[in-house]
Structure 1
Amino acid sequence: MSVLEEFKSRNFTLYAQWGGVVSIILLVILGAITFLGNIPFSILGWIFAFVLVFVEIPLCIKFCPTSPRFDSFVSSFENSYLRAGLYLVMAIVMFLANTINTGLLNLPAVILLLTSFCYLIAAVKQQSHASSKLLGGGGVDNVV
């Protein structure tokens, strides 16, 4: 199944996974751009991006050596409700960055919030978790 067919599947966990990947990219890039103006939230953005890489990209958990404690932490977010909560907390923290210094960190906060909503919709619709084949997951073939 191709990536285009995965998007046509109307599985909100796939949409949320791609929203997570976009937010990882934005957190890293915009955290670097705003580093001197907002040091604590730039560092928090990088930490969030690091965690999200392992939560959203199954290929990384297979190839990167991590501790069993970190693996159990990441595996605890297999539930869509918990992922929605994780993204919501991250979005709130990034929105708080604007209380110190208004800047570009609004964009990843909005994407994190939209991703949280996608996971929440998937949880309410009771959709099984699917991960894009492009990112090392099983795709929707195993779910449907």
Structure 2
Amino acid sequence: MGIMDSIASEFKTRNFSIYGQWTGIIAILICIAVGIANIFRFDILILFSVICLITGLMLIFLEIPFLLRICPTSKTFDDFMRKFHSLWGRAAFYLIAAVVQWLSLIKYATSLIAAAVLLTLAGLFYLFAAVKGQEFVGSKTLGGQGVAQMIV
């Protein structure tokens, strides 16, 4: 079974946490890309760009759980990231990060809106999973549930 078959079988489970995790992976790429692209503005948007870039980097550790095991991070950072391993915690993290990026529209519209949209979608997926009482199911392609259990 190939990687695409594995991903397709994960999406067929109808578990919103899988949708949230994969939307989060895309959000990582977008946050880093638009954070870098907008960081060269010399106005208030530089602040939103830096926050978007930091959010993308933090999401790497949230969505790819084995990185907390193999990357040298501090105990304080590890403890902070563990607070967001529940569905409610992930939903809160994503939705707060989304609100911050939506606030960047106060000045004028930029590509940061792409990050805001994806962060909102991922947050809503995790929120739906939490409300429905679904268990968090980590993607086997990204490290799987076994690795996530070692971290939490």
The answer for the alignment partner of 2:29 in structure 1 is 25
Match of 2:132 in 1: 125
SS of equivalent to 1:32: helix
| Superposition RMSD in Å | 1.6
CA distance in 2, matches of 1:12, 1:40: 32
Q: Does 1:101 align with 2:108?
A: yes
Q: Distance in 2 between matches of 1:133 and 1:119?
A: 18
1:72 aligns with 2:76: no
- In structure 2, the residue matched to 1:16 is 20
| Structure 1 position 90 matched with structure 2 position 97 | yes
Instruction: Give the CA deviation at 1:77.
Output: 1.1
Could you report, residue by residue, the CA deviation over 1:7-60 in whole angstroms, capped at 9, with x for unpaired residues?
A: 111111010001111111001111122222221111111111111111111121
- Unaligned runs of 5+ residues in structure 1 are none
Tell me whether 121-130 or 33-42 shows the greater mean CA deviation: 33-42
Structure 2 counterpart of 1:88, which letter? L
Correspondence for 2:143: 136
Per-residue deviation, 1:100: 2.1
Correspondence for 1:60:
67
Moved more, 121-130 or 76-85: 76-85
Amino acid at match of 1:27: C
Aligned residue pairs, count: 140
How high is the sequence identity, in percent, across the aligned residues? 40
Measure, in 1, the Cα distance between the counterparts of 2:106 and 2:69. Answer: 38
Structure 1 moving runs of 4+ over 6 Å? none
Tell me, in whole angstroms, the C-alpha distance in 1 between the residues paired with 2:108 and 2:54.
Answer: 19
Report the 3-state secondary structure (helix = DSSP H, G, I; strand = E; otherwise coil) of the residue aligned with 1:78: coil
Alignment gaps of 5+ in structure 2: none
* Residue matched to 2:9: 5
